[in-house]
A = this chain, B = another copy of it.
Amino acid sequence: VKVVVLAGGLGGSRLALALAETLDPADLTIVGNVGDDVEILGLHVSPDLDTILYTLTGRLDESKGWGRVDETWHALEAAGELGGETWFRLGDRDLGLHLVRTQALRRGESLSSVTARLAHAFGLMPALLPATDERLRTWLDTPAGELPFQEWFVARGQRDEVDAVRFEGADAARPAPGVLEALEAADLIAIAPSNPYVSIGPILAVRGIREAIEGRRVPAVAVSPLIGGRAVRGPADRMLARLAGGTGPQQVTDCYKSLLDALVIDEADADEDADVRLIVTRTLMEDEDDRRRVAEAVLETAGALR
């Protein structure tokens, strides 16, 4: 069974890992968010693609939920001493990747091509594709003004309420090579338990991807990022409350209008309702058993829907 999963960072990488462990990894294509890509110290950083790559190849620092395990911070420390920016934490091992990617991009290689090379070098089995090779950036409209994603997310610690989300470059962004082909060949489209607005939203802002999913002939299943109406991590619950009027399955479903056939929700939300089929399981993925349970819920749901 061939699966395409749309994924943001940590929640996205968790479901991607769950599916990679449950399926033949060659049957999995991960389409990653690039709306939070950012230039730091002159380097192109793709935090969501990297979190997925590190998670699925055993390199993620699980305690932090980002960056590499066994990391050191000497380059950033030196850069800081010399007046360089240090608000975005790039570890030494992590920098090695950003250096190679940035050099490739400067030489004219596409993000999807260099991502494939990096993934191959690290032994990633599933295909990892950026949503687009074009520049696409997430901006947040807040009471403090419109902020670029990482300024809002990292520098200001998501303290600003979000009134609207804008995807710079979305109009011109075409799906990266392989994305539409994978969607066309898929038996199931999965949406990871990532923030619907700022992790999945930028992927769906690429018109070709949205249209391909709207025109799907196979089931599309999302895993809710909420447990008991609260985000496991990050500001998804606050954003849903403010922008969708609540933090239940219906509000998550509303984020994915015409793109969803079923929503996997946590037992803690089992008494809630929504206008797609709801599948109840424990959705927190802390270990391999958890991941298998969620992956199976996603895959069985798809089977039931077909």
A contact set with B: CB distance below 8 Å = 41-43, 68, 71-72, 74-84, 91-97, 99-100, 102-103, 106, 117-118, 121-122
Contacts and interface: CB of A to CB of B under 8 A. Distances in A.
Q: Among the interface residues A80, A82, A83, which one has the most CB atoms of the partner chain B within 10 A?
A: A82
A113 to B, nearest CB: 12
A79 B78 CA distance: 19
Contacts of A92: 72, 74-75, 78, 92, 95
A84 to B, nearest CB: 4
Contacts of A42: 99, 102-103, 106
Given A41-B103, A72-B72, A96 B79 contact: yes
A53 to B, nearest CB: 10
Contact of A96 (B43, B76, B121): B76
A84 B72 contact: no
A69 to B, nearest CB: 12
22 contacts: A41-B100, A42-B99, A42-B102, A42-B103, A42-B106, A71-B74, A72-B72, A72-B92, A75-B92, A75-B99, A76-B96, A77-B96, A78-B93, A78-B95, A79-B96, A79-B99, A81-B122, A82-B118, A82-B121, A83-B100, A92-B92, A92-B95
B93 A95 contact: no
Contact of A78 (B84, B94, B102): B94
Contacts of A103: 41-42, 84
Contact of A41 (B71, B82, B99): B99
A95 B122 CA distance: 22
Given A42-B102, A42-B106, A103-B41, A97 B74 contact: no
A41 B79 CA distance: 17
Contacts of A121: 81-83
B93 A75 contact: yes
Contacts of A122: 81-82
Looking at A75, A83, A118, which has the most chain B CB atoms within 10 Å of its CB?
A: A75
B117 A96 contact: no
Q: Considering the complex of A and B, which 3 residue pairs feature the smallest CB-CB distances, nearest first?
A: A78-B96, A74-B92, A79-B96
A85 B139 CA distance: 35
Contacts of A117: 82-83
A292 to B, nearest CB: 29
Contacts of A71: 74
A93 to B, nearest CB: 4
A117 B76 CA distance: 17
Nearest to A105: B42
A84 B122 CA distance: 13
B72 A74 contact: yes
A162 to B, nearest CB: 30
Contacts of A76: 96
A36 B81 CA distance: 25
